[in-house]
Amino acid sequence: MKVVVIGALGKVARHLLPLLARDGDDVVGAVRKPEQLDEVRGLGAEPLLLDVEHASAEEIAAALRGADAVVWSAGAGGGNPDRTYAVDRDAAIRSMDAAASAGVSRYVMVSWIGSVPDHGIPEDSSFFAYADAKLAADDHLRGTALDWTILGPGSLTDDAPTGRVERVADGVKLARGEDSAVPRADVAQVVADTLREPLTVGRFVRFRGGETPVPDALRG
């Protein structure tokens, strides 16, 4: 399988690229700076220079042509609401339209566990732009004809991978302060296994750290 990972040097994608390469996939890691290309190679992927924030849908489509799947793991990193909307919403949406145009039907979006209309983030919160942008992108993806999966991990940690997670059912709202932590390395494993699990197509998979092996959780 040829997989293009957009945002290849993000904290989740740094775990994902070696996993996919180890499994024998043809992995392409898209980054926006020339000085990042060697680092992508070091993670086992073919580097692709693609500034998705400024690239048109047509330019993104040209970069995706010939792939079997796209993983969106990019983000503006917070701090600047305008750039958050530009990357997490607008560029993500262009990449979905580009995937459809390029004939790449499988699309996996790395979102967050609270990406629902009643996410509860107040507009005066510094996190609101991210929540709003991700929800808009996720909703656009749901309206496409792509074989999409939206992954909603809880709060991300740098803990060692466990290979186990807990699914959080649709409609379940976590109580304030309720633990939703999950290691980034486990999120990467969820992404890798999602690409191979047809039961995840058309699903919003919310999860946190838990005791269920990732493949079993995805089939649940």
| Residues identified as active-site | 130
Rounded to an integer, what is the distance from CA 184 to the centroid of its chain? Answer: 12
Strand order in the sheet with 26-31: 46-49, 26-31, 2-6, 69-72, 106-110, 147-153, 203-209, 164-168, 212-213
Rounded to an integer, what is the distance from CA 116 to the centroid of its chain? Answer: 16
Name the residue among 161, 192, 209, 152 with its Cα closest to residue 18.
192
The helix (H) or strand (E) run that includes residue 91 is none
Reading phi first (left if > 0) and then psi (alpha if -120 to 50, else beta), residue 78 is in left
The DSSP-derived string for 2-22 is EEEEESTTSTTHHHHHHHHHH
